[in-house]
Each structure stands twice: as structure tokens, then as C-alpha cells.
Amino acid sequence: MPGEVANSTSGPGPDGPRRAAVLLPLPLAGAYDYALPAGLAVADGDYVIVPLGNREVMGVVWGQGDGAVDDSRLRPVAMRLDLPPLPAVSRRFVDWVAAYTMVPPGAVLRMTMSVSAALEPPRAVTAYTLADPMPEAQTLSPARHRVLAVLAEGPPRLGAELARDAGVSPGLVRTMAAAGQIRAVALAADPPWARPDPDRAGPDLTADQQAAADSLRRQVADGGYGATLLDGVTGSGKTEVYFEAIAAALAGGRQVLVLLPEIALSAQWLGRFAARFGVAPAEWHSDLAAGLRRRTWRAVLTGAVRVVVGARSALFLPFPDLGLIVVDEEHEAAFKQEDGVLYHARDMAVARAHLGDIPIILASATPSLETVVNADTGRYRRLALPDRHGGAALPAITAVDLRTDPPERGRFLSPPLIAAIRQTLEAGEQAMLFLNRRGYAPLTLCRACGHRMGCPDCTSWLVEHRLTRRLLCHHCGYTAPLPSVCPGCGAANSFVAVGPGVERIAEEADHLFPDARWLVVTSDTLTGPKAAETLVRQVHDREIDLLIGTQMIAKGHHFPWLTCVGVVDADLGLAGGDLRAAERTYQVLHQVAGRAGRSDRAGRALLQTFDPRSPVIEALVRGDRDGFLAEEAAARRARGWPPFGRLAALIVTGHDAALVDRVAADLARAAPRGPDIDVLGPAPAPLALLRGRHRRRLLVKAARRCPVQAHIARWLARVPVPGTVRVTVDIDPYSFL
């Protein structure tokens, strides 16, 4: 009950009021002191409501208060919420993430709260059941009879549900209740969460799988921090193996968090979890309905939820008793959050495991170089699963040299790839075409004057989308219809589409394989978990012959009839000079190829390329991941790049280009330099204009041991920045745009 909790925090001032520091979920410099009214006791982590300006906000008690504010100016805490406290380990995590990413702790705290609705107490909901006595049947309309018929079938029903099933308006349900023809009953809003059962039997594991599972189970049972790389080819059973670790954590009474990069695509994962543990886990991602979000957040905090599977934001849920973290597909770039607080969820998950003194499992078929180096140096343990389950062979990967086997003019599929797909379809199997580019064409230009259609607010070309008949900026979302005449020269009907997007590949495939049932899968078409579920079912039931898509189709799926994968442009990811371009290309193409031949039918993958001799393509064809990683590691070590050195980016943005340039130049002049640290730039960002803001970048390059954050903090304190210019710090940047 409020006010009756042990008072561990609030210290009475010698004479003045007792006070507490309260951290607010706002980007303020730190916690604020508030006075505690007589009779109100609070402890660290308690959720409280406090005044701020002329409104009331929710915050979390964050220590005793430092007395910096004069007693007389302290405002009182309004109330303490009836909730378990934010656990101590979560509070340390907030402070740690804030210090690491160089954002105010309140901005991180906000991620642990997510929705203020989560803090409202659960409401009872009204349901309806049959009245006793029943109304006289002959006095009722047919609609009212239908309502009674639905209720006669079973338990009390929610109003909306009842109205839908009886085919009446919700208003009629309420009218009947008011007239006593049916009875309203209160139901608790939060039905209990079903508990996953760790004792159900999993599949019989192979010897390799069993050895890995035993090792993980032991580690979970022993407890304590430890990071393990679960390194196994696609289809080797990594999921089944880490399910054993989850079972061990559950058997020990602990909570479990599983982070997946694309929760929207995890229908199959959820099904497998339910098959193994008897119930579905709690989900946490941006598509969650508000009510379920609120229930889930609360149930994590009270411990009612035992397993959460979620996107990166799930890491900030207030687990009181987290005993294991699993990061699946740990190499995925999607774990890096690129707006708001810039953090890498995999790295923060390792920090969370460290703070909580619990084990963490990083699973991947193509682990990141960061993780591989940590395993090589013994910071992480490595468990390997070298073989595909059931003896399925890895797909045979071949390169198609586009210089010797070019597609027809104006087309993008080469003769060898067309032949392979035709053969696959004729055998009654499924094929997939991968191109990591949404829309119809990445560039639209005027045949008469060469004018290119660009975004007015960004340094980027507009992408034509034929499905929606519009041009779209993939960076800011700006959209416009294709103009009827060229804005450059006024010519009519002069636009040509340059280069392919998936929609254009679909057009070509439709022409080549008129009988094939094809489907385009991108973030434009795969809009949520429901759509993903439908897709998976359609492919499983072989209602689709040919999938054409972006990386939305690259991940996680197990489609037994899919035997041929074509990569339309294997060179695409290598352009641009990003330090991880080669690594990422290897990962994506390996993963896409791995969709082929996941059961007893052999699979193959064809990579269309202009550079079959490039190290990435050669390594893919040879299946030599470790050789590729070794070369990549040597190159990065030589240049002091991550993971052998550290990077941080400063991005200076504003509407006034001259002012942005001046601030960037001031920053460069004041930059820290020394044997361990150097600053490159400023340079216009590749996206020199984004959403109407001019952007300049500086890159901090430092030795591994260098305390980069401290250097940057002192540096920023030396350089005055006008309010109209923003300086964003990106520690460990993954995007260099």
C-alpha cells in the first residue's frame, strides 16, 4: 500500500523536509529533488507522480537527493504509485546506458516506461451473461434472440465480441442489460499469464546439439555472467539448443528475454516456442496493441510474465528477476537503433547481462566480427554446431558473371538464373529472387534533358513505386505523383526508369514465368505479424511458387520446398565504402542462400555479380566463412577499425548550412588529439541534406582502451553550439550516411 514501504531512501534534512531525488522520463540533465510530505515514505525505484511546471509527471525515485535545491523551493511528491519498484539492476542499467551512449538518463528511463498507460491500474471490464430469470421469449425481437443464443453457448462475453457474434450493435447489448434481459458482470482485466512449462519434452537432440545444450544448461544452472557465442550454420538447430537453456532458466524460477531482429517475421518462432513450452511467450514490439502493451509491461514488472520475446526495445523492460538473455541473429544491423537514443541492442544486452550477473547467448550462422573476435580472445565462450539437422546439405552457391552472361537489354535476370528458376518451377519446387531494393526503380530520369527526380528535402533520388503510382524518398518519406511533364525541360512522356527494384523484377518474372504464382515481399507489403503469418502459411501450403523480395524474406524462415535462390545484384551492398560493407554483404547473402534446400531436397543459390573475384563472392562460393572473417579481421586490425579500435561519430545538423559549417569547423579546431585518439572531418555527410536539415560529420577514431566518452564530453563542453544547431553523438556508429 502506498506510504507503507520501508524508507530506504528519503533522508530527513537536519531540520527541513525529507527529500528524494526523482528521475523523470525526459531529456533533463539528471534527477530533481522533491520534498516528501509527512506520512509518505518512498524507496529507490518507486514510481511516483510529481509536479513539473504546471503539470504532473511520473518519475522514479533515484536516491536521496543532493540538497542542491534550497528546502524552501522544493515541491512535494504528489503520490507514490501502487507498483513494484523499478528493480535496482534496471536502474543501474539506465545509468550505464546513459553514460555509454552519452544521453541524459531520463531519455533512457523513458525507454523503460514506454507507455504511461502502462502505469494505470488494470481496469475491470464488463462482460455479459444470461439473466436469471430469462426474459419472456415472445416479447423479444429476432436480434435480441440472437444475443441470448450466443450467450447460451458458454461463458460471459465482452460487449463488443457479443455484438459481433450475434450480429447486433453494441448499443443493443447495453440496452438489453439496462432492461434486465441479460446481466452485466465485472471481469478482471488482467487474466493470469499462462506459464511456459520447462518440463515438456523437446525433440531428441543430436550428439552435437546435446553437447551444446548440456553446456548451456550447466551455465544457466550455475548462474553468473558469461557470454556464449552459439555458432551454427543455418538449420543446425540453434533454436532447439537455446530452448534448452531457456528451459533451465525457467526451471530455476528465473525470467528470460529473447531478442529477435525482426519480431514481425517470427510467427514460426512463436509456434516453435509454443510447441516446446506449451504456451506462447509474451511479445514486445512496436505493433503491440496499447492494452496488451500495458498488460505486458506490468506483468514483466510483477514477474507474472516469465519469457519475453521482443525487438531491441524489450531490453529495457523492468525484469525483476531476469536469469538469461538470448540474442538471436546477433549480427543483425537491425539491433542498432538509429534514432532517439542511439544504441546497439546486442552490446547493451551484454552489458545488461553483466550488470545482472547472468548468462547471455549470442546465436548466429554468420556472427559479427566483433563477436567472433571476442570468442577468439576468450572473452566469450564458443559453442559450435557444424552440421545442418537431418543431414540437409548447405546450398551450392555459384556466381553468375554478368559480363559473360548478361541479361537481355533492359532486363535484369541472366540466362543461367532464368534457367535455374525454370527448372525449379518445373520440378514443382519453389524459388526466391532477392534484391534489397524496394519499389520499381531507384532512379527516374528525363530522356530529353537528363533531369533526375530528387527529394527536395534530402540528398537522395526518389524511388518509383508502381504499386502506389508514386515517387517516394526512402529517407524521409516525401512522396509525390510522377509529374506529367519534366520539371527540367517541360518534355512530356520523357521519363525512363533506371535500374531495378523488386517491383520491376516481379514484372520481368511475370513475363518469363507466366504460370508461376509470385509474390513481392517488402516492408511495403509485409506490414505486420498477421501479414507475415499469412505469407508463411501460403509458402508452406505451396500456394506461392516464386517469392520476390528484399531482406524481409532473407531471415528465419524454414520452407522445405524452397530450393533455388537468385540474388539479383550481389554487388549492391559493397558500394559505398562503409567499413562493414563486406561483412554485411557476406552475412546477408549467406543468409539468403541459406533459405534454399532446408530439408531433403538439395538447394542452390546463384549470385549475379560483375566482380566474381571479389573476396566476399569468392568466400561465399567456397563456403569459407572463417577464411573471410580472418581476412576481414586482418584488414581492420591494420587500420585500427572496430573491433580493434573504437569509433564515434558527431553529426552536426541544422537548417542554416553556413551555421552548421561554422559549428562543425569550431568542433574540428577544438577536437581532442593524441596518441590514442584522432578526429577526422568535418565532411558533408553522404546524406548532406536530410529532412531539410544540413548535415556534417566528424569521426572520432580511438584506441580500444581509450575512454572516448570522457574525451567527447570535455570536447563538447569547450565548443558553444547555438540552439538552432544540433550535435548528435553516435557511439559505435553502424550507419555512415
Residues in contact with Zn ion by the rule CB under 5 A = 455, 457-458, 473, 475-476, 478
Query: Should residue 261 be labelled a site residue for ligand ADP when binding is judged by CB under 6 A?
Result: no
Which CB, 190 or 240, lies closer to ligand ADP?
Answer: 240
Query: Which partner, Zn ion, ligand ADP, none, binds residue 625 by CB below 5 to 8 Å per kind?
Result: none
What cell numbers appear for 332 in the block?
543483425
Three-class SS state of 358: coil
Closest by CA position to 660, among listed 694, 699, 698: 694
Query: Which partner, ligand ADP, Zn ion, none, binds residue 457 by CB below 5 to 8 Å per kind?
Result: Zn ion
Query: Hey, how many other C-beta atoms are within 10 angstroms of the C-beta on 170?
Result: 14
Q: Which residue has the cell 572463417?
A: 626
**Cis geometry, peptide bond prior to residue 133 (ω within 30 degrees of 0):** yes
- Select the residue interacting with ligand ADP from 144, 238, 555, 701 (CB under 6 A): 238
Query: Should residue 205 be labelled a site residue for ligand ADP when binding is judged by CB under 6 A?
Result: yes
Query: Should residue 295 be labelled a site residue for ligand ADP when binding is judged by CB under 6 A?
Result: no
Query: Which partner, ligand ADP, Zn ion, none, binds residue 389 by CB below 5 to 8 Å per kind?
Result: ligand ADP
**One-letter amino acid for residue 706 of the chain:** C
Query: Should residue 228 be labelled a site residue for ligand ADP when binding is judged by CB under 6 A?
Result: no
- Site residues for ligand ADP, 608-647, by CB under 6 A, read none
Query: Should residue 232 be labelled a site residue for ligand ADP when binding is judged by CB under 6 A?
Result: yes
Query: Which partner, ligand ADP, Zn ion, none, binds residue 231 by CB below 5 to 8 Å per kind?
Result: none
Query: Should residue 234 be labelled a site residue for ligand ADP when binding is judged by CB under 6 A?
Result: yes
- What is d(CA 595, CA 580) in angstroms, rounded to the nearest whole number? 23
Contact 647, 641 (CB under 8 A): yes
Query: Should residue 203 be labelled a site residue for ligand ADP when binding is judged by CB under 6 A?
Result: yes
Query: For ligand ADP, which stretch binds (CB under 6 A), given 137-145, 205-213, 299-307, 639-647?
Result: 205-213
Q: For 593-715, where are the E strands, in sequence order? A: 604-609, 645-654, 677-690, 693-703
Contact 342, 348 (CB under 8 A): no
Query: Which partner, Zn ion, ligand ADP, none, binds residue 555 by CB below 5 to 8 Å per kind?
Result: none
- Calculate the dihedral angle through the C-alpha atoms of 649, 655, 661, 667, rounding to the nearest 10 degrees: -40
Which CB, 263 or 455, lies closer to Zn ion?
Answer: 455
* In the complex, least distance from residue 152 CB atom to ligand ADP, rounded to whole angstroms: 43
- What is d(CA 612, CA 405) in angstroms, rounded to the nearest whole number? 12
Query: Which partner, ligand ADP, Zn ion, none, binds residue 478 by CB below 5 to 8 Å per kind?
Result: Zn ion
Bridge partners (DSSP) listed for residue 645: 703
* In the complex, least distance from residue 346 CB atom to ligand ADP, rounded to whole angstroms: 17
β-pairing, 11-12 with 359-364? unpaired
**One-letter amino acid for residue 139 of the chain:** T
β-pairing, 32-35 with 307-310? unpaired
* In the complex, least distance from residue 269 CB atom to ligand ADP, rounded to whole angstroms: 9
* In the complex, least distance from residue 473 CB atom to Zn ion, rounded to whole angstroms: 3
* In the complex, least distance from residue 558 CB atom to ligand ADP, rounded to whole angstroms: 5
Query: For ligand ADP, which stretch binds (CB under 6 A), given 130-138, 235-243, 335-343, 685-693?
Result: 235-243
Query: For ligand ADP, which stretch binds (CB under 6 A), given 33-41, 134-142, 216-224, 227-235?
Result: 227-235
Bridge partners (DSSP) listed for residue 62: none
Query: Should residue 331 be labelled a site residue for ligand ADP when binding is judged by CB under 6 A?
Result: no
Query: Should residue 439 be labelled a site residue for ligand ADP when binding is judged by CB under 6 A?
Result: no
Query: Which partner, Zn ion, ligand ADP, none, binds residue 203 by CB below 5 to 8 Å per kind?
Result: ligand ADP
Which CB, 234 or 296, lies closer to ligand ADP?
Answer: 234
**Max Cα separation, the chain?**
93
Query: Which partner, ligand ADP, Zn ion, none, binds residue 314 by CB below 5 to 8 Å per kind?
Result: none
Contact 380, 371 (CB under 8 A): yes
* In the complex, least distance from residue 576 CB atom to Zn ion, rounded to whole angstroms: 18
Query: Should residue 110 be labelled a site residue for ligand ADP when binding is judged by CB under 6 A?
Result: no
* In the complex, least distance from residue 598 CB atom to ligand ADP, rounded to whole angstroms: 7
**One-letter amino acid for residue 535 of the chain:** L
**Cis geometry, peptide bond prior to residue 643 (ω within 30 degrees of 0):** yes
Q: Is 441 left (phi over 0), alpha (psi -120 to 50) or beta?
A: beta
Provide the mask over 529-558, with x wherever binding to ligand ADP is found by CB under 6 A and - wherever it is not: -----------------------------x
Closest by CA position to 291, among listed 190, 188, 375, 174: 190
- Select the residue interacting with ligand ADP from 209, 296, 371, 653 (CB under 6 A): 209
What cell numbers appear for 597 in the block?
534446400
Query: Should residue 237 be labelled a site residue for ligand ADP when binding is judged by CB under 6 A?
Result: yes
Query: Which partner, Zn ion, ligand ADP, none, binds residue 199 by CB below 5 to 8 Å per kind?
Result: none
Q: What are phi and psi of 526, to 5 degrees?
A: -100, 85
* In the complex, least distance from residue 290 CB atom to ligand ADP, rounded to whole angstroms: 32
Query: Which partner, ligand ADP, Zn ion, none, binds residue 531 by CB below 5 to 8 Å per kind?
Result: none
Which CB, 61 or 233, lies closer to ligand ADP?
Answer: 233
Query: Which partner, ligand ADP, Zn ion, none, binds residue 236 by CB below 5 to 8 Å per kind?
Result: ligand ADP
Query: Should residue 236 be labelled a site residue for ligand ADP when binding is judged by CB under 6 A?
Result: yes
Which CB, 74 or 230, lies closer to ligand ADP?
Answer: 230
- What is d(CA 395, CA 420) in angstroms, rounded to the nearest whole number? 14
Spell 456-469 as b/e; 16+ CB within 10 A means b. Answer: ebbbbbbbbbbeee
Size of the chain, expressed as the number of residues it contains: 737
Break the chain down into helix, strand, coil percent, rounded to 5.
Answer: 35, 25, 40
- Select the residue interacting with ligand ADP from 85, 196, 235, 367 (CB under 6 A): 235
- What is d(CA 713, CA 726) in angstroms, rounded to the nearest whole number? 15
Contact 616, 628 (CB under 8 A): yes
- Calculate the dihedral angle through the C-alpha atoms of 41, 30, 101, 265, rounding to the nearest 10 degrees: 50
Closest by CA position to 583, among listed 642, 536, 639, 654: 642
* In the complex, least distance from residue 267 CB atom to ligand ADP, rounded to whole angstroms: 13
Q: How far is CA 428 from CA 133, 183, 653, in A?
A: 62, 57, 54
**One-letter amino acid for residue 110 of the chain:** R
* In the complex, least distance from residue 477 CB atom to Zn ion, rounded to whole angstroms: 7
- Give me the numbers of helices (H) and strands (E) for the chain, helices first please: 19, 31
Query: Should residue 266 be labelled a site residue for ligand ADP when binding is judged by CB under 6 A?
Result: no
Query: For ligand ADP, which stretch binds (CB under 6 A), given 42-50, 114-122, 201-209, 443-451?
Result: 201-209
Size of the site for ligand ADP (CB under 6 A): 15
Q: For 97-201, where are the E strands, in sequence order? A: 125-130, 157-158, 182-187
Q: Is 54 left (phi over 0), alpha (psi -120 to 50) or beta?
A: alpha
Query: Should residue 240 be labelled a site residue for ligand ADP when binding is judged by CB under 6 A?
Result: yes
Which CB, 361 or 544, lies closer to ligand ADP?
Answer: 361
Which CB, 478 or 513, lies closer to Zn ion?
Answer: 478
* In the complex, least distance from residue 236 CB atom to ligand ADP, rounded to whole angstroms: 4
Query: Should residue 395 be labelled a site residue for ligand ADP when binding is judged by CB under 6 A?
Result: no
- Select the residue interacting with ligand ADP from 312, 389, 438, 590 (CB under 6 A): 389
Which CB, 490 or 692, lies closer to Zn ion?
Answer: 692
Give the side-chain half-sphere CA count within 13 A for 520. Answer: 23
Query: Which partner, ligand ADP, Zn ion, none, binds residue 354 by CB below 5 to 8 Å per kind?
Result: none
Q: What are phi and psi of 660, to 5 degrees?
A: -60, -45
Query: For ligand ADP, which stretch binds (CB under 6 A), given 6-14, 229-237, 656-664, 677-685?
Result: 229-237
Q: Which residues bind ligand ADP (CB under 6 A)?
A: 203-206, 209, 232, 234-240, 389, 558
